[in-house]
Amino acid sequence: MPKRKDIKKIAIIGSGPILIGQAAEFDYSGSQACLSLREEGYKVILINSNPATIMTDDDIADKIYLDPLTLPSLKKIMRKERPDAILPTLGGQTGLNLAVELSKDGILDELGIELLGTNLHTINQAEDREAFKELMEKLGEPIPDSLTVHDYKSGFNFAHKIGYPVIIRPAYTLGGTGGGIAKNDKELDFILNRGLTMSPTTECLVEKSIAGFKEIEFEVMRDHAGNSIIVTGMENFDPVGIHTGDSIVFAPTQTLTDTEYQRLRDASLKIVNALKIEGGCNVQLAQDPNSEQFYVIEVNPRVSRSSALASKATGYPIAKIAAKIAVGLTLDEIINPITKTTYAMFEPALDYVVAKIPRFSFDKFTNADRKLGTQMKATGEVMAIGRNIEESLIKAVQSLELNKKLQNNLVSEDDAKLSLPDLLKKIQTGTDVRLFGIFTAMAKGATIEQIHASTKIDPFFLSKMQNIMYLHKKLQSGELTADLLEQARKYGFDNEMIKTIHPISDEDLAKLDKLADQHLVYKMVDTCAAEFESKTPYYYSTIGSENESKPIGNSILVIGAGPIRIGQGVEFDYATVHCVKAIQAAGYNAIIINNNPETVSTDFSISDKLYFEPLTIDSVMHVVDLEKPLGAIVEFGGQTAINLTEGLTKHGVKILGTSLEGIEATEDRHDFEQLEIKQNIAHPAGNTAVDIPDAIKIADKIGYPVLVRPSFVLGGKGMAIVHNQDELIAYIKPALKNSNGKPTLIDQYIPGTECEVDILCDGNQVFVPGIMEHLEGAGVHSGDSIAMYPPQHLTDKQKIQIVDIATKIGHETHCVGMMNVQFIATNKQIYVIDVNPRASRTVPFMSKITKMHLAQLATQMILGKSLKDLSLKPGLYPEPKKVYVKAPVFSFTKLPGAPTALSPEMKSTGEDIGSGDTLQEAIHNALFDSYHIDSSKKSGPVILSAHDFENTKLVNQLKQVGFEPQKFVSEDKMPKDITFVLDSADDTDDEKLLASIALSHQIPLFTAQDTVKGIFQPQPQFQNRA
């Protein structure tokens, strides 16, 4: 059926701020869908409060609302815009839930707005546990037996009926805490009683345990005519029991026979047909490794993280096709955008293996529970493509940016210290680093059988890991022959890895490589295993005899930002994409190297050529050697790209934009101090320490409190304020150990108004788009602060000073492109506290407000344009009348045990934007999707931790505003209808408990006094905190 002509205007609801479990994949799917609908001639209205997205760019939709994702806000927009339809299945769970709310509200019927794609009845059938159970029973598809119980006896009886092992899942506890697997009566007794006690509703689900089964996912597409296909099957390396978002995943499936595969495929199609899905759908299944038995685990009737992964793994653009299906097209009418000669109605054939490894941010959340289970904890993921399991796994490991030494050597030093029995016991539990634990166990001589017994990971995957470790051992002990090196190359080992295991020079490696029969080549991702000719500019490296990637010429290389982690979020993918657009507009070919499957930048249609590769110096240099680009741009790929600058420069690659010297002038403490002294720029007193006595001396000289942090940081990793010598020593010991010889910085701690600017510089003149003021004072990481633009509490003089200083720094570092400078403003002085020689996380926020594509302008300057050429006046861009606020979003509910109090260590996973005629209005709008509070309600009880309650000034302020502040005593003494909780420390058990109660009861939680102080003002103005 051709596309529908009775609808013209379609609204898409975005997924809002980035959270663990709902991240950048929805920017990718949402922007794909918008473009796909516009391609068909529809007008698209987009609502999303997350400014750090490509989907909220002016060229993606016809009209964009950066408004709160709440029912009242959406209703207002619906009344104003009166779209003909809403497409609800592309904005994650948030978009879907809001569509359901709108429908229940009746406004859709009132305004005659239709819901496109999969209908709400279906969505309910898939998402409601009971409705789903009923449907599966009707279809005769097996699901694990389960029962919701409210007392021990019923749970006990049910467990006996279905047989052990059983899983106990307590309802409404944070991250499912209190649950577990019981293998016998004794364990059931303990876990079920604990679960019932911990659940606020005294409710537990008792379910047949299928932990240890193979976890399989199918990505299905279906159109309204009932045509359906599987885009790909994916197999989790970690068996059932660990959330698929936290599992290592391979595509296609590896260990299923055709009989098993087709059985699961049949079940998936049967379910998707019964649900009458129109678009994309994810089906998760469990296959018993020892029998024909399988179970359906779950169905997601929308595009998801898995569909983004499947799209990147196969080249089949699920979201784009899903949008076309939603407007009536059938799969056989839609051209396959990869081959351009075949149709979307086919199942991709892969001739490679894809590995995905989740990226966790436990380096930031040092105390969080690293145990993996059914609650997702990863913040991002990497994907790698190879021609065998070993190669794709090793390439994915190389992409993780965890710990260079561990990634290169694979054997974990800590795990190596354990005895083999202890290590085998340790790896029974899935954690973020279990993969390395397994490698280490193998290095210690563990057999596949032993590791399988501990982990239940399929021996097929373990045998591949063992192949890697056999090779590792040979490299370590024997002579490095050309044959051995060729084998290592086939397993994905790059120079750095080999050199870590077997000391040898690059030159000698090159000589040996020449002797090999096959060499590193690039192969195309084409959805069809070379059966049809394709022109997709999407490549991966492998060892082979034919290189398919022909140099594109006149090209510029853009280094991406890799996996999303705390401190390096989707903002950097946004900047990367804009950099590419500017390069193309300037008449060059843009080449991207990146390894993040969730994002827009790794869509093959964004750049002229995409290399899906690890961001290591070796893999980037291979691309450079082939493509011979005019130069490389590193300013938009976050710290990942900046960290490659030195290596690239050494290899003779021309860095376009700020040079290595300029970058080092800001990142090297000593160089930067010289610059500041020369330019008479004030900065907090400080020095660098390489040992403990040194540190004590420096701190004594500056005077406590002092701010301590490692040099070369990302997102303030490892920063802390210490108040005395004991705290200093406690911090500095591990910091020095982990710094790889780089010194630790010790600074004077200055209380004042924090602010920051992003500057654009053509090497000569400096343009400042705006000054952003932080609501929270120094001591709270800038990424976790509420940022206000224009600044609300700076004098004109202070603003001039800030712009002057930023301009001086731009000049002195010969900045070309972008730079981010952070300040503390006091009444007396403006201090510079940090300079980042690259685009920062505030670029999308400021771009959306000023309606200037800052990353594109910066790229134009990098390519030789001057401020004048771009009609930009040096100095500060005029400030708007409206006020804009950027608020942080945290994923604490997903990370039980993680510290919650705001500190110099960044903790937020995302951000949203709010705007208004006044600061109060802008904050009010920003708080809905960030702190989930309606800040216009200025009454009701608010609970403060004992520590916060001691701040009488703050308590009085809250009373004055209209709240009833109460000190936290215990859970049962908490009143009902609490407006919010303030818990700014997480040291004592009570403080931890209070945060946990707030999170599990969905009570708005603030974890810094400054935030509360700033938001809830007795009158509109407030004093300069300095």
Partner 1 sequence: MKKYLTLENGDVFVGEASGDTAAEVEGELIFTTSMTGYQETVTDPSYTGQIICFTYPLIGNYGISKDVSQSKEIAPTAVVASEIEKHPYHYESVISMDDFLKEKHVPAITGIDTRELTKVIRKHGTMAANLTNHPVSKSLNDNNEKILSKIKLASMSTSNNSQTDHVVLIDFGVKNNIIKCLQDLDVDVTVVAPDVTFEDIEQLNPTGILISNGPGDPTEYTSFLPVIRKLQDNYPLLGICLGNQLLALANGAKTYKMTFGHRGINHPVKNLETGKIYITSHNHGYAVDADSIKNTPLKITEVEVNDGTVEGLRLPGKPVFSVQYHPEAAPGPHDATKIFNDFINIMHESEGVK
- Which residues are at the interface with partner 1 (CB under 8 A)? 225-227, 229-230, 252-259, 261-262, 265-266, 269, 289-291, 331-332, 341-343, 345-353, 387-389, 458-460, 463, 517-518, 521, 523, 528-533, 544-546, 548
**What is the Cα–Cα distance from 189 to 559, expressed in whole angstroms?**
55
The least distance separating partner 1 from the CB of residue 383, rounded to whole angstroms, comes to 17
Cβ closest to partner 1, residue 53 vs residue 339: 339
**What is the Cα–Cα distance from 999 to 986, expressed in whole angstroms?**
14
Cβ closest to partner 1, residue 279 vs residue 783: 279
Cβ closest to partner 1, residue 253 vs residue 640: 253
Cβ closest to partner 1, residue 115 vs residue 256: 256
Nearest to 220 by CA among 253, 176, 269: 269
The least distance separating partner 1 from the CB of residue 318, rounded to whole angstroms, comes to 16
The two most distant CA atoms of the chain are separated, in Å, by 80
Nearest to 192 by CA among 212, 210, 173, 166: 166
Question: For residue 8, what are the contacts with CB-CB under 8 A and spacing of at least 6?
Answer: 42, 43, 84
The least distance separating partner 1 from the CB of residue 524, rounded to whole angstroms, comes to 9
Give me the sign of the Cα torsion angle 309, 557, 519, 545.
positive
Collapse the DSSP code of 496 into the 3-class scheme (helix H, G, I; strand E, B; otherwise coil) and give the result. helix
Cβ closest to partner 1, residue 524 vs residue 995: 524
Cβ closest to partner 1, residue 64 vs residue 256: 256
Collapse the DSSP code of 780 into the 3-class scheme (helix H, G, I; strand E, B; otherwise coil) and give the result. coil
**What is the Cα–Cα distance from 609 to 557, expressed in whole angstroms?**
9
| Cα distances (Å, whole numbers) of residue 1010 to 477, 903, 929 | 58, 11, 19
Cβ closest to partner 1, residue 521 vs residue 575: 521
The least distance separating partner 1 from the CB of residue 388, rounded to whole angstroms, comes to 6
**What is the Cα–Cα distance from 675 to 670, expressed in whole angstroms?**
9
| Chain centroid, CA 256 distance in Å | 31
Collapse the DSSP code of 153 into the 3-class scheme (helix H, G, I; strand E, B; otherwise coil) and give the result. helix
User: Which H/E stretch holds residue 766?
Assistant: strand 766-768
Q: Which residues are bridge partners to 220 per DSSP?
A: 230, 281
Give me the sign of the Cα torsion angle 247, 251, 256, 260.
positive
Cβ closest to partner 1, residue 14 vs residue 252: 252
Cβ closest to partner 1, residue 310 vs residue 902: 310
CB 853 within 8 A of CB 760: no
How many Cα atoms sit within 13 Å of 603 on the Cβ side?
Answer: 27
The least distance separating partner 1 from the CB of residue 351, rounded to whole angstroms, comes to 4
The least distance separating partner 1 from the CB of residue 350, rounded to whole angstroms, comes to 6
CB 64 within 8 A of CB 58: yes
The least distance separating partner 1 from the CB of residue 224, rounded to whole angstroms, comes to 12
E-only strand ranges, 209-247: 214-222, 228-236
Rounded-to-5 percentages of helix, strand, coil across the chain: 40, 20, 40
Nearest to 1008 by CA among 854, 842, 806, 780: 780
Cβ closest to partner 1, residue 458 vs residue 912: 458
The least distance separating partner 1 from the CB of residue 529, rounded to whole angstroms, comes to 4
Q: Which two tokens stand for residue 172?
A: 């409404």
Cβ closest to partner 1, residue 1 vs residue 585: 1
The least distance separating partner 1 from the CB of residue 114, rounded to whole angstroms, comes to 24
Q: Which two tokens stand for residue 93?
A: 């769970």
Cβ closest to partner 1, residue 292 vs residue 726: 292
Cβ closest to partner 1, residue 41 vs residue 226: 226
DSSP output for 94-109: HHHHHHHHHHHHTHHH
Cβ closest to partner 1, residue 235 vs residue 573: 235
The least distance separating partner 1 from the CB of residue 616, rounded to whole angstroms, comes to 23
Collapse the DSSP code of 820 into the 3-class scheme (helix H, G, I; strand E, B; otherwise coil) and give the result. strand
The least distance separating partner 1 from the CB of residue 52, rounded to whole angstroms, comes to 37
The least distance separating partner 1 from the CB of residue 316, rounded to whole angstroms, comes to 11
The least distance separating partner 1 from the CB of residue 384, rounded to whole angstroms, comes to 15
Question: For residue 405, what are the contacts with CB-CB under 8 A and spacing of at least 6?
Answer: 413, 500
**What is the Cα–Cα distance from 574 to 55, expressed in whole angstroms?**
10
Cβ closest to partner 1, residue 452 vs residue 865: 452
The least distance separating partner 1 from the CB of residue 296, rounded to whole angstroms, comes to 17
Strand order in the sheet with 1005-1006: 964-967, 941-944, 980-982, 1005-1006
Cβ closest to partner 1, residue 77 vs residue 318: 318
CB 361 within 8 A of CB 379: yes
E-only strand ranges, 16-58: 43-47
Q: Which residues are bridge partners to 380 per DSSP?
A: 359
Tokens 């199918």 found at: 218
The least distance separating partner 1 from the CB of residue 228, rounded to whole angstroms, comes to 8
The least distance separating partner 1 from the CB of residue 9, rounded to whole angstroms, comes to 30
Could you give the angle at which helices 318-326 and 305-314 cross, rounded to 10 degrees?
110
By the 10 Å C-beta count (0-12 exposed, 13-18 middle, 19+ buried), 1002 is classed as: exposed
